[in-house]
Chain A
Amino acid sequence: MSSLRELPLPLVLGALLLATGLGLLASMLLPQVPRGFAIAALSLIKAALLVIGFMRLQQESRALAGALIGYAAVLCVLAGLRIALAA
């Protein structure tokens, strides 16, 4: 957990931009079912990076950080399922 507390901000931004680019590529190139899973996973990674890397909320309250990531996970999973089910 201590390494997560020390995430450098430029690294977080780089990872967020990379995940965004990969998400756009996945939406254009992948077949429907893997596209749903890839988009859900990448979107959840971005949400977690934002909470842990930019907000550093876990340093003050792990419960609050976990709740935010959990909220994002619900919507990411639902979005991924919708995309996969459209096949």
Chain B
Amino acid sequence: MNAHAPPARFAAAQSTNEGGMELLLWILIWSEFAVFGAFLIAFLILGLIDPPALARLHGALDLPLAGAATAVLLTSGFFAARAAFGPSPRWNLIAAALGGLGFVALKLVAYGHEIPAITAVESRLVELYFLITGFHLAHVLFVALIMLAIAWRPTPRRTGTIAAIWHAIDLVWLLILPVIYLG
């Protein structure tokens, strides 16, 4: 018997443990989708109820900067996918994290332009706008920092997990864009 081979019982336990972690990951991702979905549907309903407030909110939003932030986040997702499926996971994770931090910087600049005009709009839409985009921004910042930590010692499992979460955050932004910014 090979002394270095793990016992069958240990290998089975490890496989079960990884399956459990994967299940937890997807429960986390779907719970995020449920929360963001509820907020976005509330935003759509309020937009239908109060079109003048929605028009004033749209007038105050910085659409070109939102487009630039989207491009940066998608490019960052490209590097996260390369980290999960290609060579050099460390450098790709660092590039993805830097893209995330670039998104945060662009969104903060956009807030700087938008806040004076938006706060003049008296509507629940404004509160929802800051809740949805601020909550998403916190996710981007937090996961970008975790990605930098994982880049220090990447393993295929950690890289795959963080890339899946990063793509989920990308997907949420791709849904925020048509619901809040476009139209």
Contacts and interface: CB of A to CB of B under 8 A. Distances in A.
Interface of A: 9-10, 12-13, 16-17, 20-21, 23-24, 26-28, 35-36, 39-40, 43, 46-47, 50-51, 53-56, 64, 68, 71-72, 74-76, 78-80, 82-83, 85-86
A52 to B, nearest CB: 11
Contact of A17 (B26, B41, B74): B74
A9 B178 contact: no
B174 A72 contact: yes
B183 A13 contact: no
Given A39-B183, A55-B167, A86-B51, A16 B67 contact: no
Interface in B18-55: 26, 33, 37, 40-41, 44, 47-48, 51, 54
Given A9-B82, A23-B182, A24-B63, A82 B47 contact: yes
Contacts of B71: 17, 20
A76 B80 CA distance: 24
20 contacts: A9-B85, A12-B81, A24-B182, A28-B63, A50-B77, A50-B174, A53-B81, A54-B77, A54-B80, A55-B164, A64-B26, A71-B33, A71-B37, A72-B174, A78-B179, A79-B183, A80-B178, A82-B48, A86-B51, A86-B183
B100 to A, nearest CB: 14
A12 B167 CA distance: 13
B75 interface: yes
Interface in B133-183: 163-164, 167, 170-171, 174-175, 177-179, 181-183
Please classify the interface of chain B as helix (H, G, I), strand (E, B), loop, or mixed, using the class held by over half of its residues: helix
Contacts of A82: 44, 47-48, 179, 183
A50 B63 contact: no
Interface in B50-75: 51, 54, 63-64, 67, 70-71, 74-75
Interface of B: 26, 33, 37, 40-41, 44, 47-48, 51, 54, 63-64, 67, 70-71, 74-75, 77-78, 80-82, 85-86, 163-164, 167, 170-171, 174-175, 177-179, 181-183
A9 B171 CA distance: 16
A11 to B, nearest CB: 10
Contact of A23 (B44, B163, B178): B178
Nearest to B47: A82
Contact of B183 (A21, A27, A68): A27
Contacts of B174: 43, 46-47, 50, 72
